[in-house]
């Protein structure tokens, strides 16, 4: 697990004034990574690091020479960031990531001698267009919230809500990486086969039960060789960082197709990422003890370790908001639907990596793991509309007076996330938002 170092010092302040404001998502203690382009360079994507409402263009910073005295590891890391995606940087590993983080932290602190050179490398975030931060070769979606699994199970199998394997094995399925987009994505309501209640035959129709799933995304750094499992003690050395992730879901499509092989068209039409990837090193102050109820099965040996028990959980506060088309037209702000915390996940990041590779599966830099819907133990912590509406039986009233059981065309869904802890600076994940568009005409 990553240990605390000088970059986590809550007293650090930046010469970028906006990074020092209360409630800022991107203070100097965060320094998350993204990929962006600006008007005038429409085909040229650069790697950026957030600081306040600005970001450091790492291609420009490298060219300016600000890392010349930062040491060979930081220089190699900065060179790897002179690319249109983060894959090369992700592949370098934690020592290189940490060296560049320290170099950036030092150069962005109040009084840093690099201020003059680095100041011209800043780009306002508001001026940028963001892209998916890495080439995602493979994407696996997990099911790590026991509260979500139980809530959904009660709707589908009231007498047997939680299947017997859930508490023994991190459940996951292989998803579609080609339809993963960046925040701001416009999502078409999908067409597929659905079996309507009481019908004897399915029909091709737009999904009528379109939902979001509140997840965190986990980006893989260095991969592992095919046939070589990653042990728990090394699992997080293979993880670069985390972001917010909306895994849009067509519940009526899912209900018809998911047996016997699981999600297919109900999930592969769109998923949306937040632009910023918060590194595992930045998350160090928010680690918490990972626990398993004594009445539950304890993890098999390959899914357990002293480090897991000591600090395997991560406290990430998560929120879901909605803004309907009518609310937007009336100038009404988005409305919060729920909140939860990633610390309540039943399976940890390290357990996902260890299980994914125990059979010899090879992960590669830039691969993405989805955490699965993050729901908490109380009703207000449900991470999907399926749970909030009790499977469509209980409607929610928006501030505009509109009722919702599932998403309607024109609805914008926003996720936000942040970490807080005593004696640590607050750091944020920014947001991920997406808007639902009407279905295309049927073929």
Q: For residue 1, is pLDDT > 70?
A: no
What stretches of 84-238 adopt beta strand conformation (E)? 122-124, 129-131, 139-142, 172-174, 180-182, 185-188, 191-194, 203-206, 210-211, 214-220
377 within 8 A of 343, measured Cβ to Cβ: no
Token code pair at residue 174? 């292989």
pLDDT digits (tens, 9 = 90+) for 369-427: 999 999 999 989 999 999 999 999 999 999 999 999 999 999 999 999 999 999 999 99
Other Cβ atoms closer than 10 A to 309: 14
Q: For residue 41, is pLDDT > 80?
A: no
372 within 8 A of 351, measured Cβ to Cβ: no
pLDDT digits (tens, 9 = 90+) for 140-189: 999 999 999 999 999 989 988 999 999 999 999 999 999 999 999 999 99
What is the rounded (10 degree) CA torsion for 215, 220, 225, 228? -50
Query: How do the residues of the chain divide into helix, strand and coil, expressed in percent and rounded to 5?
Result: 25, 25, 50
Query: Helices 94-108 and 72-80, interaxial angle, to 10°?
Result: 90
Confidence category of residue 42, pLDDT binned at 50, 70, 90: low
Q: How far apart are CA 370 and CA 359, in angstroms?
A: 19
Looking at the annotation, which residues are catalytic?
Answer: 148
Other Cβ atoms closer than 10 A to 408: 17
Q: What is the mean pLDDT of the chain?
A: 97
**Which of 212, 227, 16, 52 has its CA nearest to residue 126?**
52
Token code pair at residue 113? 């001698």
Decide: pTM greater than 0.95: yes
Q: Which domains does the chain have, with CATH numbers?
A: 6-131 (2.30.30.230), 139-437 (3.90.850.10)
109 within 8 A of 12, measured Cβ to Cβ: yes
- Report helix, strand or coil for 427: strand
Integer-rounded Cα Rg, in Å, for the chain is 22
Q: How far apart are CA 72 and CA 100, in angstroms?
A: 10
| Interval 354-375 mean pLDDT | 98
Token code pair at residue 69? 């005295």
Is beta strand 139-142 parallel, antiparallel or unpaired with respect to 368-370? parallel
* Percentage of residues in the chain having pLDDT higher than 90: 96
The two counts, helices (H) then strands (E), for the chain are 12, 26
């Amino acid at each position: 697990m990553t240990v605390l170092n000088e970059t986590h010092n809550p007293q650090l302040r930046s010469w970028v004034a906006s990074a020092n404001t209360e409630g800022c998502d991107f203070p100097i203690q965060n320094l998350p990574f993204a990929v962006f382009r600006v008007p005038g360079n429409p085909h040229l994507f650069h790697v950026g690091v957030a600081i306040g409402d600005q970001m450091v263009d790492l291609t420009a910073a490298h060219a300016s020479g600000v890392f010349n005295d930062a040491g060979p590891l930081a220089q190699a890391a900065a060179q790897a960031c002179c690319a249109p995606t983060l894959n090369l940087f992700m592949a370098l590993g934690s020592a290189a990531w940490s060296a560049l983080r320290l170099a950036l932290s030092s150069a962005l602190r109040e009084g840093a001698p690099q201020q003059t050179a680095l100041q011209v490398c800043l780009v306002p975030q508001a001026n940028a267009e963001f892209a998916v931060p890495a080439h995602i070769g493979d994407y696996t979606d997990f099911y790590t919230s026991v509260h979500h699994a139980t809530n959904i199970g009660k709707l589908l199998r009231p007498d047997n809500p939680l299947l017997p394997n859930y508490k023994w094995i991190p459940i996951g399925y292989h998803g579609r990486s080609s339809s993963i987009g960046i925040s701001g994505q416009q999502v078409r309501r999908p067409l597929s086969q659905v079996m309507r209640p009481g019908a004897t035959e399915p029909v091709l129709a737009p999904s009528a039960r379109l939902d979001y799933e509140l997840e965190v995304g986990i980006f893989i750094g260095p991969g592992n060789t095919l046939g070589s499992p990653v042990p728990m003690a090394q699992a997080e050395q293979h993880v670069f960082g985390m972001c917010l992730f909306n895994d849009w879901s067509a519940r009526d499509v899912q209900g018809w197709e998911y047996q016997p092989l699981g999600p297919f068209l109900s999930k592969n039409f769109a998923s949306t990422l937040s632009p910023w990837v918060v590194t595992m090193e930045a998350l160090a102050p928010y680690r918490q003890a990972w626990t398993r109820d004594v009445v539950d099965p304890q993890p098999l040996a390959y899914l357990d370790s002293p480090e897991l028990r000591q600090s395997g959980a991560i406290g990430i506060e998560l929120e879901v908001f909605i803004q309907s088309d009518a609310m937007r037209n009336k100038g009404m702000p988005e409305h919060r639907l729920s909140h939860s915390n990633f610390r309540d996940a039943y399976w940890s990041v390290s357990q996902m990596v260890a299980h994914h590779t125990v059979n010899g599966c090879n992960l590669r830099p830039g691969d993405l793991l989805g955490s699965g819907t993050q729901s908490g133990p109380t009703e207000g912590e449900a991470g999907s509309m399926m749970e909030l509406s009790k499977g469509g039986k209980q409607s929610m009233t928006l501030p505009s007076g509109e009722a919702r059981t599932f998403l309607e065309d024109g609805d914008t869904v926003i996720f936000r996330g942040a970490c807080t802890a005593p004696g640590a600076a607050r750091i944020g994940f920014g947001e991920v938002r997406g808007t639902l568009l009407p279905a295309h005409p049927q073929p």
